Chain A
Amino acid sequence: EAQVTQNPRYLITVTGKKLTVTCSQNMNHEYMSWYRQDPGLGLRQIYYSMNVEATDKGDVPEGYKVSRKEKRNFPLILESPSPNQTSLYFCASSTSGETQYFGPGTRLLVL
């Protein structure tokens, strides 16, 4: 089944404790990206990647890192999480310019 998977789906952590949210797609898509969704602010792009070893900042990259060492994986790294990074996170993938497919989301609470 063609899909985008994210792990974990739910995470509660404390300020400053490094964490990684994994994202994987099995559709051989070149393009992958991360979004966060917040009440009143909608969905905003954090980072995107056009292909392996090609990443770039989106609209709200501060406090996040990404890497794209393999085509199928695009992890999101929070080196020192803060409470303002409490959010619902989505990973997405697509063939460039075509339909974007979203993962199931990761709910993160930073205390």
Chain B
Amino acid sequence: GIQVEQSPPDLILQEGANSTLRCNFSDSVNNLQWFHQNPWGQLINLFYIPSGTKQNGRLSATTVATERYSLLYISSSQTTDSGVYFCAVHRRRALTFGSGTRLQVQP
């Protein structure tokens, strides 16, 4: 099956810093989503981004489908950005999730 790898696995930032999270996938995909799992366990949709670039406030994402990777940019990080970030690729009838990047933003 398709493999989804995320890096780095863990990231600690000072408030205000910028970061880039990476998602590599092993096969061509139709669709890709980024999620934020907050400390209470809720999965929040960030982006649905099969290709190209999207921006939402301090967050932006780029997917280069032909090279099988996606990037999530977080600028001017805040403590509320802490949690785990997942990318997930659509395959047939399910999402295949990466193992996540655990982000801790310190004040």
With both chains docked as a complex, state the minimum distance between the C-beta of B26 and any C-beta of chain A, in angstroms: 15
Chain A residue at smallest Cβ distance from B49: A99
The verdict on A111 contacting chain B, using a C-beta distance below 8 Å, is no
Interface size, A (range): 20 to 34
Q: Does B48 contact A (CB under 8 A)?
A: yes
> Could you say which residues of chain B place their CB within 8 Å of the CB of A27?
none
Q: Is the Cβ of B95 less than 8 Å from the Cβ of A105?
A: no
Choose from B33, B42, B48, B94 the contact partner of A59 (Cβ within 8 Å): B94
Task: Kindly state the separation between the CA atoms of A59 and B97 in the bound complex, as whole angstroms.
Answer: 13
Q: How far is the CA of A88 from the CA of B31 in the complex (A)?
A: 25
B68 interface residue per 8 A CB criterion: no
CB distance from A107 to the nearest CB of B (A): 7
> B99 within 8 Å of A by Cβ?
yes
Q: How far is the CA of A98 from the CA of B86 in the complex (A)?
A: 17
Instruction: Give the contacting residue for B45; candidates A43, A90, A99; CB below 8 A.
Output: A99
Q: B100, A42: Cβ atoms under 8 Å?
A: yes
Please pick, from B43, B45, B97, the residue contacting A105 in the complex, using a CB distance under 8 A.
B43
- Where the two chains meet, the residues of A that have a C-beta atom closer than 8 Å to any C-beta of B are 31, 33, 35, 42-43, 45, 48, 50, 56, 58-59, 88, 90, 92, 97-102, 104-105, 107
Can you list 27 contacts pairing A with B, beta carbon distance less than 8 Å?
A33-B93, A33-B94, A42-B98, A43-B95, A45-B93, A45-B95, A48-B94, A50-B93, A56-B93, A58-B93, A58-B94, A59-B94, A90-B43, A92-B95, A97-B90, A99-B33, A99-B45, A99-B48, A100-B33, A100-B45, A100-B88, A100-B95, A102-B42, A102-B43, A102-B45, A104-B41, A105-B43
Q: Chain B interface (Cβ within 8 Å of chain A)? A: 30-31, 33, 35, 41-43, 45, 48, 86, 88, 90, 93-95, 97-100
